[in-house]
Structure 1
Amino acid sequence: MTHLTRLTLDPRHTAVRKDLADVDSLHKTLMRLVPDNLGPHPRARAGLLFRLETGPEHVLLIQTAHQPDLNALPRRYGTAQTRNLASMFTALRPGMPVRYRITAAPTIARSAGTPHPHPVTGKRRGKTTPLTGDAADAWWHRRALAAGLEPLTSHATPRPFPRKDHSRIGPYTLTQFEGHARITDTDLLTTAVTHGIGKAKNYGAGLLSLAPAQP
């Protein structure tokens, strides 16, 4: 069963300061919450998604496919509350109004001039390019609809990648989208929440949060 953990970090902790400054280090710390020996794609197998919330406190939202092992975190790293999302999934209904929030990495595969298509898929390899502004908004609208969610309002805010050497992480930039929406397909939405949306999930992208909203 999918679990969501709200972890309030202690900014005085040496490990916390290190992780807040470098998303690679943060990802390694959070992988300690899940079992070992999960094969070649451990993050995906563990269902690990996370998002660093903005505000006066340093809060991490962490989603895992199973109960996380919080004892694996450094001592006094933070204070955690974990809940099972089964009741939330059960409550979802088509037409239900919700508030949503997601930090995502909008991208598009642009033609790289590859002359020959892939022998199996028939597709030409494209160069992954980050999207910003109106293009990012359009990307989110498409991905939300494909996830069983019809956005009614949307506010987009650029978000930085924590990176100790200030270098860019691959072809990705982060944008936080939040607003109100209407559920159109509960199966698609459950899958999207469980597995995340878009790329750069190792770096704090893709976790979709939902809350009830007034009609």
Structure 2
Amino acid sequence: MFLTRMQINPRRRGARLLLSSPQVLHAAVCSGFADATPSGEGRILWRLDNYGPHRVILFVASPDKPDFTHIIEQAGWPTTETWDTKPYDRLLDRLTLGQQWQFRLTANPVHSARREGWTDTKPLGHVTIRQQEQWLLDRTPRLGFQILPRKADNAVDGEVELVITDRGVRRFSRGDGRVTISTATFEGLLEVTDVAALKNSLTFGIGRAKSYGCGLLTLAYPATPDSPQ
């Protein structure tokens, strides 16, 4: 597995096209691989992280190394910036029980329900922050980790190191139809409880809408008082 980081230039016309539709961006990401089908190691997962109006980072986890020349030419800085791909197995092989990591995840929190007039249940997006947070907390045991309790002086019983930093609804075209997905970006502090399950979460993704920028969980070392700012 590999993890790729690439900066998008949102001022460019091609970038605005990619950023406007998860369907279009998914096609562009998959075009960077000779074979985009999932393997026994994992599948292609991607996520856009926004750090302001002029700084957008595309992260891609994949079984094979990508060639994103076409994205750089269309939506990046062709003469000054490319993409950075590193082996993901280095991190995967270091995972052990009890480790603590900072994490980020953009997901599609949904539940199955039946509305009036429907004959079958369908996935419906959770609406409130509380519902979206609970969606993730309910799944952590089988995802291979737990969210750590808050240790701040003003923390109350039951609070955990979990925040939603961004949430929204994306609507875009797919073929002759329209797709609507709700998204939430989670950040927090986790502890590894099942190494194999966490590796599966990292390489095969979490939840639905993986083709549309959801499901990619990334880890980083927890910040400490001595960490550089």
User: TM-score normalized by structure 2?
Assistant: 0.77
Deviations 1:150-209 (A, max 9, x none): 0111001343355568x9733x30001110011001100000000000001111100000
Q: What is the letter of the counterpart of residue 188 of structure 2?
A: G
Shift of residue 51, structure 1, vs aligned partner: 0.9
Stretches of structure 1 that go unaligned for 5 or more consecutive residues are 115-123
Partner of 2:215: 206
Partner of 1:186: 195
Partner of 1:129: 124
Runs in 1 of length 4+ with deviation above 6 angstroms? none
Shift of residue 87, structure 1, vs aligned partner: 0.9
Q: Supply the distance in 2 between the matched residues of 1:92 and 1:29 (Cα, whole angstroms).
A: 31
Q: Supply the distance in 2 between the matched residues of 1:48 and 1:84 (Cα, whole angstroms).
A: 14
Stretches of structure 2 that go unaligned for 5 or more consecutive residues are 77-81, 149-160, 225-229
Shift of residue 11, structure 1, vs aligned partner: 2.5
Deviations 1:81-124 (A, max 9, x none): 1111111011111001110110000111124699xxxxxxxxx9
Q: Supply the distance in 1 between the matched residues of 2:204 and 2:21 (Cα, whole angstroms).
A: 24
Shift of residue 137, structure 1, vs aligned partner: 1.0
| Distance of aligned partners of 1:168 and 1:154 in 2 relative to their CA distance in 1, 3 Å threshold | farther
Task: Say whether 1:50 aligns with 2:64.
Answer: no
Partner of 1:154: 162
For the residue of structure 1 that corresponds to 2:48, the secondary structure is strand
Q: Supply the distance in 2 between the matched residues of 1:76 and 1:107 (Cα, whole angstroms).
A: 33
| Distance of aligned partners of 1:7 and 1:185 in 2 relative to their CA distance in 1, 3 Å threshold | same
The answer to whether the Cα contact below 8 Å between 1:21 and 1:163 also exists between their aligned partners in 2 is no
Shift of residue 70, structure 1, vs aligned partner: 2.3
How many percent identity over aligned positions?
27
| Distance of aligned partners of 1:139 and 1:168 in 2 relative to their CA distance in 1, 3 Å threshold | farther
Is the deviation greater in 64-73 or in 52-61?
Answer: 64-73
Is the deviation greater in 191-200 or in 26-35?
Answer: 26-35
Task: Say whether 1:142 aligns with 2:132.
Answer: no
What is the Cα-based RMSD across aligned positions, in Å? 2.6
Q: Supply the distance in 2 between the matched residues of 1:70 and 1:148 (Cα, whole angstroms).
A: 31
Aligned residue pairs total: 198
Q: What is the letter of the counterpart of residue 8 of structure 2?
A: L
Instruction: After TM superposition, list the pairs within 5 Å mapping 1:167-186 onto structure 2.
Output: 169-170=179-180, 172-186=181-195
Partner of 1:101: 104
User: TM-score normalized by structure 1?
Assistant: 0.82
| Distance of aligned partners of 1:60 and 1:103 in 2 relative to their CA distance in 1, 3 Å threshold | same
Partner of 1:26: 25
Task: Say whether 1:80 aligns with 2:83.
Answer: yes
Partner of 1:12: 11
For the residue of structure 2 that corresponds to 1:73, the secondary structure is helix
The answer to whether the Cα contact below 8 Å between 1:104 and 1:206 also exists between their aligned partners in 2 is yes
